[in-house]
Amino acid sequence: MTQTNEPNKETCTGNCSSCPSTTKCDDPRNADAQKGLPPKADVSVKHVVLVLSGKGGVGKSTVSANLAYALANRGFNTGLIDLDIHGPDIPKMLGIEEARLQSYDGKIIEPVKVTGNLAVISMAFLLPERNTPVIWRGPMKMTVIRQFLEDVNWGDLDYLIVDLPPGTGDEALTVAQLAPNIAGAVIVTTPQDVAVLDSSKAAEFIKKLELRVLGIVENMSGFVCPHCKEEIDIFGRGGGKKEAEQLGVPFLGSIPLDPEMRKAADEGRPFIIRKAGAEESPTWKSFDAIMQALVDQIEE
């Protein structure tokens, strides 16, 4: 005789925790189990924003760090998770390389505070030396991702920015399945065709997970020579905007290729917090406009 997993509608009490037909139960609390997905991590956050790209070297971590700082500066309680486990750069960009994680009760981890309302977690805080490689397979990474979400004392967050490694592998898939209240994903690209091609794959990856693409950011878009003031399109221009139109997703804006941004990252001071000359800086204006466009997308 064939046994089915269909629940008995006449006797179902709605108590899915003890129901032998859990994977078929109509209770919305068990939606993830119905899809064969792991349970969501227990973290109090209103909006989780994933930042990813199809390839490396497009400035994804720069966008993540500055975006998190910009949100915190606007009064939002903000968390930032550096999930580039094999190449964590966020602590360097925020000037907190020497920080180490503390825990209490043998489990709860205290994130590193950058400001009163900006907290960060990164694999870099756990490494004995800055050049120590992380040589892990998928299951190890999946375990630490869940720990970074629910074993960290985040408090009540308005935003949790997740900086992901390039591509659509273990880290991106795991956090997309575990994180609650995902507002959507920001795709970072540079203008040239090769980068745009890979960014389109990242966008389709997000759509296949039935998540929202909040928009595309085109980084390194144009360069103004500091000597002759001539504008040069080193990596081209407009590729990100064109791709956003083709994919039917918002274009959040473009960021110029600016030596000051590289300098800010190396010094551990996010570009967005600079005050001197900010109003005259096209790069600063671009970042501020992108942050506002992102908030508008989420509020919609």
Q: Mean pLDDT for the chain?
A: 85
What proportions of the chain, in percent to the nearest 5, are helix, strand and coil? 40, 20, 40
pLDDT of residue 150: 94
Binding positions are 54-61
pLDDT of residue 149: 96
pLDDT in tens, 42-85: 999 999 999 999 888 898 999 999 999 989 999 999 999 999 99
User: 37 falls in which pLDDT band (50, 70, 90)?
Assistant: confident
Binding positions for ATP are 54-61
Residue % of the chain over a pLDDT of 90: 55
**Which range has the worst mean pLDDT, 27-41, 188-202, 277-291?**
27-41
Prediction pTM value: 0.85
**Which range has the worst mean pLDDT, 76-80, 170-174, 213-217, 253-257?**
253-257
pLDDT in tens, 90-132: 999 999 999 999 988 777 999 999 999 999 999 999 999 989 9
Per-domain residue ranges of the chain:
45-299
**CATH H-level, domain 45-299: superfamily:** P-loop containing nucleotide triphosphate hydrolases (3.40.50.300)
pLDDT of residue 274: 73
